[in-house]
Chains A and B, each alone.
Chain A
Amino acid sequence: MAKVKCAWFDFACCEGCQIELTNFGEPFVQLLENVEPVEFREAMSETTTGPIDVAFIEGSFTRESDRRRLEEIRSRAAVVVAYGACATSGGINALKNHTTDYAEAVYGADKDRPHLASKKALPVSAAIKVDYEIRGCPIDKAEFIRVVTQLVNGTSKVYIPSYPVCMECKRRGTLCRYDDGDHCLGPIAQAGCGAPCPADGIPCEACRGLVDNANQDAMEKVLIENGKLPEQRARDKSRMFTANFRGDA
């Protein structure tokens, strides 16, 4: 079987998801038996202008000037996979979406210089068609391999769980954050990560997005009544990774 030609591209993000790929250690060499990297700016100087079997895109769509680059990638790629929270939902970058003074807050009097222009942070799918998504901040390495395996072998659907993170906490026997005097977005957060954060003693921030038809009003009530958060904090809580999922997005 011919190796699958893969290319990696990045937009507004921290590039942490591609770093996760280097954390496999020696088994990464095995991956190279099936996959041929043809472009990966952070790791290689080789580039390509030819067709790509699978394009992995990391990072958010935040500048109109990036649209053409995204369209160009789409035109060359048989399959586009958006990976990481920034690419699949806007991720942390969307935390500024509800504000209008962010440029002034960071760049002060220089805020209007044209090269500092940035609009709302959106997922890659706001600019081009995305075939598959690998969610999370950062991505889960095992899930990445599962998706690549499915793509290499030919697949019609990449499986993403439709249940909330609470299910995974129960499955691994993690003490509920609410029972530990904390708060958590687990009840409406998309699962699939294995719930590492509550297991490590911190709340789930829903970095993989929200489940379909999440009851955000009920979540707010739980944050206030069970999590003891002040009203405003409860209202703003889900902006960290899921600003673009909110009713007010």
Chain B
Amino acid sequence: MTKNAKINVHHITRVEGHGNIVVNVTDGTVETCEWQVPEAPRFFEAMVRGRHYSEVARITSRICGICSVGHTLASLKASEAALGIAVSEQTDLLRRILKHAENFDSHVLHVYFLVAPDLLGVPSVFPLVPTHGDVVKRALRMKRLGHEWGSLIGGRTTHPTRAIVGGFASLPGGARNVREAEAALRELKDKLLAVVPDAVETYKTLLSLAGGIPPFTRPTEYVALVDDKEYGLYDGKIACLMPDGTQELVDVADYRSVTNEYVVDQSTAKFAKHKMASYMAGALARFNNSHAQLHPEAKKLAVGLGLTAPCFNPYMNSIAQFVEAVHSVYMSVGYIDTLLSKGLKDETPVAPTKFARGAGATEVPRGILFHEYAYDKDGLCTMGNCIIPTNQNHANIQQDFNALVPELIAADKSEKEMELNLEMLVRAYDPCISCSTHYLDVTFKR
């Protein structure tokens, strides 16, 4: 048994934003065990007040550089609910492709650049350039594809330009007419199919590294969107899955009954709880809720990597992300086929029919995201509320720490091993702390 340990990870690395891990074990007793979030608060909900509905998504997109597509889409959906706008089927399909692009893009970045170094025992991807050059190049190639895929639909992936309230400001690829836009979509489909060999190689790489994933399990509540049209990602109802398999469905409009945010001293980000002391959002929560709707090709890879529902190991979130990335490729190919068979139209964005209050949700790579706005008769925003997945995960990370640290002590782990296990746990959640306010650290006090 570990007698004493003092871990103080100030600004944990290889995560988006700033967080600290502070653990202090004396004579085998855990005196402190905290997940702290010191990120500089940014006050987006205050900043949208008084802004026109056409500007709001452009502002809230800036909450996060990695999930700016998701913030844009959640924002647009909330504004459209408030403004009484129903978008066209074409807009719905294009947004779904855009959402899949972000999911793929972010998951590739996370699995290869943030998680893989731990499994390979290196501090970052850079030492892998001379030793595993092919893998690094493959990762960069796939990352680039995610970027091109999203940019073709959204204009760009970091703060997309074309997705606006009511539809799209311009056609895919920035095309001047529908014929050119259809050609751009066909080209994208070819690029997507061409990534399959890289995905297969990624599968092999992960299979060879999967032994390094810690076997920790802690059943919790899993919250994610579920959609009768596809594996919950772009749209749907809020599903709250309990460890015993019971699932409660909640309308997005009632999201506050699920998130129940509260302020804690250890964090500039708010925490959240529903039925249990905490809940988990993200790829694993989506997988546990929607695994039956995975594309068959993605399902095969999940089985091969030992991911079966329900999975209670938070470290497996990274594996669920890879499975989703492959799912996103095949789903987007299918959506492109649908769009091409129906024929693209040069549509004008749908105009507001009312000015009221509305909420919208979508899944960003790291979990369910809610935006809510109210507008006055001039279309100016009077209130905004954004509940970010990482905020929803902070309490769950803390609960995991509470369960994991005693296990590590009992297993007689060294301070260094404990620190790595805790850092890897935080990274598995793929936290986006800029999102949640903007920060993450690990600290063990001695």
Contact = CB atoms under 8 A, between A and B. Distances in A.
A44 B40 contact: no
Contacts of B55: 205, 240
| Interface range, B side | 35 or more
B64 A25 contact: no
A92 to B, nearest CB: 4
Contacts of B434: 13-15
B305 interface: no
A178 interface: no
Interface in B142-169: 143-145, 147, 155-159, 161-162, 164, 169
B143 A103 contact: no
Contact of A44 (B13, B47, B156, B157): B13
Contacts of B43: 96, 102-103, 105-106, 118
Contacts of B113: 22, 43
Interface stretch (A125-133, A149-157, A194-202, A210-218): A194-202
A221 interface: no
Contacts of B65: 13-20, 138
A50 interface: no
Contact of A137 (B40, B145, B159): B159
B42 interface: yes
A62 B140 CA distance: 33
Contact of B46 (A23, A28, A106): A106
A113 interface: yes
B159 A95 contact: no
A116 B169 contact: no
Given A23-B143, A202-B162, A230-B378, A42 B15 contact: yes
A204 B46 CA distance: 23
Contacts of A92: 47, 59, 62
Interface in B231-283: 263, 265, 267-268
A12 B40 contact: yes
10 closest residue pairs by CB, A with B: A16-B65, A25-B144, A44-B124, A201-B169, A102-B46, A45-B123, A105-B46, A200-B161, A14-B65, A12-B40
Contacts, number: 184
Given A15-B17, A46-B124, A22 B263 contact: no
A71 interface: no
Nearest to A104: B46
Interface in B210-231: none
Interface string B39-60: 0111111110111100100110
Interface string A219-249: 0000000000010010010001000000000
B140 A44 contact: no
A17 B373 CA distance: 27
Contacts of B68: 14, 16
- B47, B63, B136, B174 — which one has the most chain A CB atoms within 10 A of its CB? B47
B137 interface: yes
Nearest to A107: B263
A14 B438 CA distance: 7
B174 A200 contact: yes
B372 interface: no
17 contacts: A12-B42, A13-B434, A14-B64, A17-B158, A19-B109, A23-B147, A41-B11, A43-B113, A44-B14, A44-B124, A45-B123, A59-B40, A102-B47, A116-B268, A137-B62, A196-B155, A236-B51
A29 interface: yes
Contacts of A233: 52, 380
Contacts of B265: 113, 115
Contacts of A67: none
Given A22-B113, A118-B41, A196-B155, A236 B46 contact: no
B59 A95 contact: yes
The number of chain A residues touching the other chain, given as a range, is 35 or more
Nearest to B378: A230
Contacts of A201: 161-162, 164, 169-170
Contacts of A11: 40
A93 interface: yes
Given A201-B170, A202-B164, 10 more contacts: A19-B109, A22-B143, A23-B144, A24-B144, A25-B140, A32-B126, A95-B59, A110-B263, A196-B156, A200-B169
B159 A138 contact: yes
A51 interface: no
A49 interface: no
A24 B148 CA distance: 10
B109 A22 contact: yes
B47 A200 contact: no
B49 A105 contact: yes
A5 interface: no
A63 B170 CA distance: 39
